[in-house]
Structure 1
Amino acid sequence: MAGLDYKKFTVGVEEEYMVIDPLTRELKSHEQKIVQEGQKIIMDKVKAEMHQAVVEVGTDICADVDEAFMDVATLRKTISGIADELGLWVGASGTHPFSHWESQLITEHIRYNEIVNELQEAARSNLIFGLHVHVGMETREMAIHIANSARYFLPHIFALSTNSPFWEGRLTGYKSFRTKVFDKFPRTGIPDYFESIEAYDNYIKLLVKTNCIDNAKKIWWDLRVHPFFNTVEFRICDIPMTVQETITITALFQAICGKLYKLHSQNLNFQMYSRALLNENKWRASRYGIDGTLIDFGKESEVNTRVLIYELLDFVDDVIPHLGSQHAISHVHKMLEQGTGADRQLKVFEETKS
């Protein structure tokens, strides 16, 4: 449609990597040495996380997914190189397959100390690794509108990202057990629908006033209007194994935002569904990944997850050229054919029995 500005939908990517001892393959608490060395090279694009065995990186604000690809690839290469120099490895999986959280150390920082003090074992055991995707928004009003509608698609993209079938040496039966670990935190999962940005802000103000939170960063939903950046932040996904998978998922979130923006400009709105219904699909995606079924709430029937993902591609197809993400989106077909990170982990386990 002429006149629509899709350039506003910039992207930013945050990834959480596991730090590994090359000899034992166990997670390695390392006093954030990778972060300290990394900040000498890439400044604040690398950060410490609550557990010492986790390193977080974040891209710059990227104009498109091609730029994001280059940034993520550079970050992965840089952090891997630093880890190698320190006698460590880094890896990408939503959970470590056999390490136990009890043996891992918490990073000494006032914010992490506060979280552990409040949440206790829920915080100490939260040794997981995710992907967060930011999509730029022109206004906060548009952000809440898009966030409300985008909730429906969260399980579809989550299913593609599943990459955590093991937990503490056990085969969990889930394609993403990471989400089950994180469920112990408050204010997680798919959020409710908010009538307006004012309603959302009033919710935050009430939680702050009643000492539930000190700021909106302690809203850990699968999707949120970011409290400090002008973005919608998608937080539901496991960290994918490869750069290409990360960028394809980023492109899908960006395309969903672009499509919902286009519909809004035509005075069309996507059907809103309750959190209770959407969480049914999230559970299915967590359990079965792309090999199960999701509920098509419009048809009131179960549909193969792969079929629904192909339908999603059709839904966003008309905005993809405007976003310049054709190549990244096309990789969805390969992901559906070769399976998710969880599928590949399980294949190795079945072949090696270890």
Structure 2
Amino acid sequence: MSAGPPEQREAMPYQRYAYHFGIEEEFFLVNPITRNAVPQVPKQLVRTCQARYGAHVHHEMLQSQVEISTPVLGSADEARATLERLRHGVVRVAEDMDLRVVAAGTHPLAGWHEQRHTDKPRYDALIDDFQMIGRRNLLCALHVHVAVPAGVDRVVLMNRLMGWLPLFLALSTSSPFWNRQRTGLLSYRQAAYDEWPRTGIPDHFRDESEYADFVALLARCGAVPDGSFLWWAIRPSQRYPTLELRIADSCPRLADSLAIAAAYRCLVRAYTCRPGLAREWTPLTRRVIDENRWRAKRYGTAAQFIDEAAGRCVSFADSVDRLIALIEPDIAALDCAAEIRHLRQLARAGSSADAQLAIYHRHRARGASRTEALRHVVDWLIVTTAQAADLQ
């Protein structure tokens, strides 16, 4: 989420920007012949993108990855236009350099041991600190920032929203393959990311003050420089007055990204305006959320989620219906009905992980080798990543 130079950000009238949002998408860069991720990106690629789109395109930790980040967005229509422009811009620059772009949580054919990390001090330090875990970070995510009104405690709000995190993962699942293998999971990215410290579902902190005390303790003991090194599935941003959703896989279908961003934005508004919607936090709550996160990782849109309050399981489709019913006033207020309707399309047709697996199994049934079938999956990802949003 780009919001201009620091002096402009500090001067922002944040109350005016309440519920404005930003979206970050990470992509793989692909060799069109082998369909594999490229181990080294031409320096000119990012330079050309930045010459055209400024700081909205930049390097990621591994050279086979690139990230786009929107400016501060005020509406769903603006988000659609901006992401289409940035996605298509990166695709065009990559094609001019005989490369292709793939949005997915993992690359079906790429091997982590073949990758090189980007030569920047932050990435050098991460690789040195985390060793193989850092080198295995061949993962791409979708992040959504939503600005919280002035005076609202972001950590209190984070606690209210946390139970919905597994649903957002299920909606976004796009990483059923890893290291040229079918993993049996719909989001292997989440499983791989669990190797990192300070990831997954956050603990329950009383408020921003207690959260800051935790960050200060880690910093004082040399564990982290600051709060940006807490990579949880949701967190208060270190840099912006936002609450950041981080659990989602990178989505090849732009419509999926837009629907997830709109739903999350609506939830932030719902639990800010109507805090009584939040369920009471119990000693069981975090573990139930983590169990549901596992179910989302494993089954995606076929998951059955545990409803702690009701003491029973709820289907993914029913969870989507409950979400839409809860945020109905916010859908109208934020004018994102088309994006939210797409959630029901996801519930009916499945996530992009389901589409990838269907392509893989279809080609395997026709006699293709595992590698050949995976190449067909990458071809679908390349085409789908470059398409405009199709909101249904």
Alignment counterpart, residue 169 of structure 1, candidates 175, 180, 193: 180
Question: Which residue in the other structure is 2:116 paired with?
Answer: 105
Q: Does the aligned pair in 2 maintain the 1:6–1:322 contact within 8 Å?
A: no
Residue 280 of structure 2 aligns with an amino acid whose one-letter code is Q
Question: Which residue in the other structure is 2:167 paired with?
Answer: 156
Q: State the superposition RMSD in angstroms.
A: 1.4
Question: Which residue in the other structure is 1:36 paired with?
Answer: 47
Question: Which residue in the other structure is 1:188 paired with?
Answer: 199
CA offset digits 1:250-283 (Å, max 9, x no partner): 001001111101213xx66433253222100000
Alignment counterpart, residue 274 of structure 2, candidates 240, 263, 284: 263
Question: Which residue in the other structure is 2:10 paired with?
Answer: none
- Once residues 332 and 152 of structure 2 are traced to their aligned partners in structure 1, the CA distance between those partners, rounded to angstroms, is 25
Question: Which residue in the other structure is 1:25 paired with?
Answer: 35
Question: Which residue in the other structure is 2:293 paired with?
Answer: 282
Residue 323 of structure 1 aligns with an amino acid whose one-letter code is L
Aligned-pair distance for 1:32?
4.3
Question: Which residue in the other structure is 1:116 paired with?
Answer: 127
Question: Which residue in the other structure is 1:206 paired with?
Answer: 217
Q: Does the aligned pair in 2 maintain the 1:132–1:236 contact within 8 Å?
A: yes
Size of the alignment, in residue pairs? 348
More deviation, 223-232/318-327: 318-327
Secondary structure of the corresponding residue to residue 29 of structure 2: strand
* TM-score under structure 1 length normalisation: 0.95
- Once residues 342 and 168 of structure 2 are traced to their aligned partners in structure 1, the CA distance between those partners, rounded to angstroms, is 13
CA offset digits 1:114-157 (Å, max 9, x no partner): 00000000000010010000001123743222111111100011
| Residue 197 (str. 1) matches residue 198 (str. 2) | no
Residues 1-354 of structure 1 mapped to structure 2, 5 A cutoff: 8-28=18-38, 29-139=40-150, 141-264=152-275, 269-273=278-282, 274-353=285-364, 354=373
CA offset digits 1:187-207 (Å, max 9, x no partner): 000101111111011111111
The unaligned stretches of length 5 or more in structure 1 are none
Q: Does the aligned pair in 1 maintain the 2:154–2:207 contact within 8 Å?
A: no
* TM-score under structure 2 length normalisation: 0.86
Secondary structure of the corresponding residue to residue 96 of structure 1: coil
Aligned-pair distance for 1:108?
0.6
Q: Does the aligned pair in 2 maintain the 1:7–1:323 contact within 8 Å?
A: no
- Once residues 280 and 87 of structure 2 are traced to their aligned partners in structure 1, the CA distance between those partners, rounded to angstroms, is 38
The unaligned stretches of length 5 or more in structure 2 are 1-14, 365-372, 374-392
Q: Does the aligned pair in 1 maintain the 2:50–2:56 contact within 8 Å?
A: yes
Residue 259 of structure 1 aligns with an amino acid whose one-letter code is A
- Once residues 351 and 142 of structure 2 are traced to their aligned partners in structure 1, the CA distance between those partners, rounded to angstroms, is 14
- Once residues 68 and 25 of structure 2 are traced to their aligned partners in structure 1, the CA distance between those partners, rounded to angstroms, is 5
Aligned-pair distance for 1:161?
0.5
Q: Does the aligned pair in 1 maintain the 2:17–2:147 contact within 8 Å?
A: no
Aligned-pair distance for 1:320?
1.0
Aligned-pair distance for 1:33?
3.5
- Once residues 8 and 52 of structure 1 are traced to their aligned partners in structure 2, the CA distance between those partners, rounded to angstroms, is 35
Aligned-pair distance for 1:34?
2.2
Q: Does the aligned pair in 2 maintain the 1:32–1:52 contact within 8 Å?
A: no
> CA, structure 1 residues 234+32, in 2 after alignment: closer, same or farther (shift >3 Å)?
farther
Question: Which residue in the other structure is 2:379 paired with?
Answer: none
Secondary structure of the corresponding residue to residue 8 of structure 1: coil
> CA, structure 1 residues 21+140, in 2 after alignment: closer, same or farther (shift >3 Å)?
farther
- Once residues 318 and 167 of structure 2 are traced to their aligned partners in structure 1, the CA distance between those partners, rounded to angstroms, is 10
Q: Does the aligned pair in 2 maintain the 1:224–1:232 contact within 8 Å?
A: yes
> CA, structure 1 residues 251+6, in 2 after alignment: closer, same or farther (shift >3 Å)?
farther
- Once residues 33 and 114 of structure 1 are traced to their aligned partners in structure 2, the CA distance between those partners, rounded to angstroms, is 24
- Once residues 27 and 136 of structure 2 are traced to their aligned partners in structure 1, the CA distance between those partners, rounded to angstroms, is 16
> CA, structure 1 residues 141+204, in 2 after alignment: closer, same or farther (shift >3 Å)?
farther
